[in-house]
Amino acid sequence: MPSLPHGYALLNDPLEHLGLADALHRAQQLAETEPGPAAELFGELADALEQAPFTGHARQLRTRQRDLLASAGQADAAFTVAAKLMLDRYESGDRMFVDEHLKRLATDAGGTASDIYVVLKSLADWF
């Protein structure tokens, strides 16, 4: 059974509660000039939030990670994060939706990403 997040952290900043506020500030600074390393740091922060468990907050950082990976030209990694976000929504029972951003990432990523996109779109349409 998963543990519940700390109440204080839910009302305030969970990264501050975890002692990671400085890392978030660094990631935000890096995002302006070095999107690749910033995306990696946002991913690490999201991992920490998921373990805590602050999944809603982690989802916001994953979205930021996806966007930074895309701007760093890492379309395949950005698509992977986007697909994981979508599947997480499915697993938690949240409404799934596919936007043009995911389609563009799939096209840019190449390989099997286009096929995965079709499966995700079908799942979202069904759900």
Q: What is the pLDDT of residues 89-116, one digit of tens each?
A: 888 787 777 778 889 999 999 999 999 9
The per-residue pLDDT for 97 is 74
* Cα(17)–Cα(58) distance, integer angstroms: 14
The per-residue pLDDT for 126 is 83
Q: Return the residue matching tokens 């740091």.
A: 41
* Residues 33-83 pLDDT 10s: 999 999 999 999 999 999 988 888 999 999 999 999 999 999 999 999 999
CB 87 within 8 Å of CB 79: no
* Cα(36)–Cα(30) distance, integer angstroms: 9
Band (pLDDT 50/70/90 cuts) for residue 2 is: low
The per-residue pLDDT for 1 is 45
